Chain A
Amino acid sequence: EVQLVESGGGLVQRGGSLRVSCAASGFSFSNYWMSWVRQAPGKGLEWVANIREDGSEKEYVDSVKGRFTIFRDNSKNSLSLQMNSLRAEDTAVYYCARGPKNIFGVVFGGWFDSWGQGTLVSVSP
């Protein structure tokens, strides 16, 4: 069974830093791109960042570029998001999500087929 379990959320002051992590199990982690998707209270979904299966490529939404860093450790099946210079508008539930898949060097998919339960990050104004 695919499992994604986030941790590390909490309350942080504006301008502060926080790292959230995701522990993956039940699948071949090193074959998948992984993403962070967030959801502000009462709002919709926003893709934040993704990382290629081998960590060689990373992409970010414009609003977090230069402040957030996504990284992974395939030996530990873990995904992390380091968040610096946090703003009130970063307050959200942060979800770890799986996809797309690398199949023999070809990127397959683009949808997110498994999600963690989310971890809440609250930034005090």
Chain B
Amino acid sequence: EIVLTQSPATLSVSPGERATLSCRASQSVGSKLAWYQQKPGQAPRLVIYDAVNRATGIPDRFSGSGSGTAFTLTISSLQSEDFAVYYCQQYNNWPPWTFGQGTKVEIK
């Protein structure tokens, strides 16, 4: 089973600032990594797939990078609606599909 480790657990950022979230895989997943955003009381929402592609309707301030075992989600200028928990997920080697433990982006 591939283990995904996200860091930091919590990221405190001021609106308008850049946020950089990390996801590391226990073995290579190639580019088969997705990112999800989840707000309190809501279902997760796909943000990035195949490591670098924005999902439909996702603004271009969100960008994904990386391959192999190290991945990054960057939010270039945080808006109020971006404060949420973000999860990475690998789909290179399944079952099981696995998720990271999440990074909470909170208002500083």
Contacts and interface: CB of A to CB of B under 8 A. Distances in A.
Interface in B63-108: 87, 89, 91-92, 94-102
A95 B43 contact: yes
Interface string A107-118: 001111111111
The interface size bin for chain A is 20 to 34
Interface centre among A47, A59, A116 (most CB of B within 10 A): A47
A112 B36 CA distance: 9
Contact of A109 (B45, B49, B98, B99): B49
Contacts of A100: 91
A73 interface: no
Contact of B97 (A44, A47, A115): A47
Given A44-B99, A44-B100, A44-B102, A113 B55 contact: yes
Given A44-B87, A47-B96, A111 B45 contact: no
A35 B97 contact: yes
Interface residues of B, number: 25
Contacts of A116: 43
Contact of A111 (B34, B38, B96, B102): B34
Contact of B89 (A50, A62, A111, A118): A111
A44 B101 contact: yes
Contacts of A62: 96
Given A95-B43, A113-B55, A59 B102 contact: no
A118 B43 contact: yes
Given A35-B97, A44-B100, A47-B96, A115 B43 contact: yes
Interface of A: 35, 37, 44-47, 50, 59-62, 95, 100, 109-118
Given A95-B43, A112-B36, 13 more contacts: A37-B44, A44-B87, A44-B102, A45-B87, A47-B95, A47-B98, A50-B95, A59-B95, A62-B96, A100-B91, A110-B91, A111-B34, A116-B43
